[in-house]
Amino acid sequence: MNQYFFALGTNHTLSKIDIVNLLVKKGVEFEIVEASEEILLVASEESLEVNSLMKELGSAAKIGKIFGVYQESEWPEKFLKEISGGELKKEFGGEKFGISVYGAGGKFKELNRVFGRVREIAEKIREIREIRETGRVLSTVAVDKNRLLENGFELVLCVGSKGIYVGKTLAIQDYESYSLRDYGRPMRDVKSGMIPPKLAKMMINLAGKEKEGLFLDPFCGSGTILQELILLGYKNLMGSDLEKKAVQETRANLDWLFKTYRDIKKEDYKIELFESEVRNLSTKIPPKVVDAIVTEPYLGSVRRKFLKPEQIKKEISGLEELYLAAFGEFKKILKSGGAVVIIFPVFRWRGQFFYLEILEKIKSLGFRKEDFLKKEIKGKEKLRLVITKRGSVVFFRPGQLVSREIFCFSIV
């Protein structure tokens, strides 16, 4: 049985959902071994194509293979004995190395104890130069810049409830490409807000649709969701926005994308961009042709972070009307079984949270709120997903007063 680790992104719930759903979509038979806010461990009879997975995931910082599990009482002596010869020496060799220690569901005191003995391991592997950073986790930047995947290794220790899992990193997230698509493209509208490319990719994966289907982003902004669809290989796309400026910015960013990423050809894609109020979508798009809508709508005025409770309630009232009008149009243009992956704003003021209270009305329009996991998974209970009572996942960053609440719906 092969075991793999996935180092998770900032929102561990979305990361786990993203990984699990992609494995299911690829037909991989697997089970959850352990999971925490930092790491996901899975077991599978088949070998995983980790580089291919990394390109499609928006969630994993690192993917690697587990080579052994050790009890705390035998750590690290047994591992050091094994690494000095035999098969493990072939895996853990090279010019230099780094060590990362992740919590995988074990007790915090065990995590500290394992991390405290990392220096002993480094000293025993003294014939290879060690790469170190502050803290117990080596960044993907350090792994990349020191070429550990090519000329050495990153030793990853996952401290779980069943022992210490020892693995080696095989693939890392292409952080430079994500940064380029976020900060390096020609058009960025910071005032209106921009969805992070990684979150956009996770939302696309949540739709669970085939790449031949028609995808629509009716609030395309500067085109982040569309650009991630293109890079994932979805060929049939539509984007619209109320603002003419937004449509122009999207077009400029997509032109830049094709020029920057030379391995994708514009002529292979069918992309239609147009200016439209969301309430008029059905006058622009034929009925029952769209397979999936993935979008981040208008989340409120640019002054929303300064609003007080009464102002927030007024803001929410207007947003509720907009969202319900949008779902009314979505119903007309979606195919039967079509998916909607959408972001709702969550307002926060001094410990109070304010939500769009429209779920029952959306249901009455003919939509069903879907579970985030597309299939029953062996060991699902170990995932420890944080799903709200509303059936959503909240994506937030420290200091944000308006968070993103993610929902999945389908047309009945």
- Measured CA to CA, the distance from residue 255 to residue 266 in angstroms comes to 8
Q: Identify the pLDDT of residue 244.
A: 95
Half-sphere CA count of 118, side-chain side, radius 13 A = 28
pLDDT (average), residues 80-87:
72
pLDDT (average), residues 311-327:
95
pLDDT (average), residues 149-165:
92
- Give the domain CATH number at 112: 3.30.2130.30
Residue 31 lies in a domain: yes
CA 372 from chain centre, in angstroms, equals 13
- Which DSSP symbol is given to 47? P
Residue 309 lies in a domain: yes
pLDDT (average), residues 222-232:
97
Cβ neighbors of 163 (< 8 A, separation 6 or more) are 69, 70, 71, 72
Tell whether 110 and 214 lie within a shared domain.
no
Res. 126 pLDDT band, cuts 50 70 90: low
Residue 91 lies in a domain: yes
φ and ψ at residue 3, rounded to 5 degrees: -125, 140
Give the 3-state secondary structure of residue 20: helix
Mean pLDDT of the chain: 91
Tell whether 223 and 157 lie within a shared domain.
no
Pairing of strands 30-35, 236-241: unpaired
Residue 247 lies in a domain: yes
Q: Identify the pLDDT of residue 86.
A: 60
Low-confidence winner among 149-153, 202-206, 210-214 (lowest mean pLDDT):
149-153
Boundary-marking domain end, from 173, 203, 227: 173
Tell whether 307 and 344 lie within a shared domain.
yes
Q: Identify the pLDDT of residue 23.
A: 96
Q: Identify the pLDDT of residue 81.
A: 81
Q: Which residue has the higher pLDDT, 379 or 350?
A: 379
Residue 181 lies in a domain: no
List the strands of the sheet with 39-44, edge to edge.
30-35, 39-44, 2-8, 60-70, 163-172, 152-160, 96-103, 129-131
Q: What is the pLDDT of residues 52-73, one digit of tens each?
A: 999 999 999 999 999 999 998 8
Cβ neighbors of 152 (< 8 A, separation 6 or more) are 93, 94, 95, 96, 97, 98, 128, 131, 146
Choose the most confident range, by mean pLDDT, from 66-75, 128-137, 197-206: 197-206
Tell whether 245 and 145 lie within a shared domain.
no
Residue 289 lies in a domain: yes
Cis, bond preceding 286 (omega within 30 deg of 0): no
Q: What is the pLDDT of residues 264-280, one digit of tens each?
A: 999 999 999 999 999 99
Could you tell me the residue range of the domain that residue 26 belongs to?
Answer: 2-173
Tell whether 96 and 194 lie within a shared domain.
no
The number of domains in the chain is 2
Question: DSSP characters for 97-127?
Answer: EEEEEEESSS-HHHHHHHHHTHHHHHHHTTT
Alpha-carbon distances of 71 from 12, 87, 88, 114, rounded to whole Å: 26, 20, 18, 11
Give the 3-state secondary structure of residue 270: strand
Tell whether 400 and 285 lie within a shared domain.
yes
Residues of the chain with pLDDT > 70: what percent? 95
**Integer Rg of the chain from CA:** 23
Quick check: 202 and 10 in contact, CB under 8 A?
Answer: no
- Measured CA to CA, the distance from residue 144 to residue 171 in angstroms comes to 10
User: Does residue 191 register a pLDDT over 60?
Assistant: no
User: Does residue 302 register a pLDDT over 70?
Assistant: no
Residue 227 lies in a domain: yes
Tell whether 313 and 202 lie within a shared domain.
yes
User: Does residue 293 register a pLDDT over 90?
Assistant: yes
- Measured CA to CA, the distance from residue 358 to residue 356 in angstroms comes to 6
Tell whether 144 and 204 lie within a shared domain.
no
- Give the domain CATH number at 264: 3.40.50.150
Tell whether 213 and 141 lie within a shared domain.
no
pLDDT (average), residues 327-344:
98
Res. 397 pLDDT band, cuts 50 70 90: confident
Tell whether 352 and 390 lie within a shared domain.
yes
Q: Identify the pLDDT of residue 261.
A: 96
- Measured CA to CA, the distance from residue 246 to residue 150 in angstroms comes to 42
Tell whether 279 and 368 lie within a shared domain.
yes
Q: Which residue has the higher pLDDT, 399 or 25?
A: 25
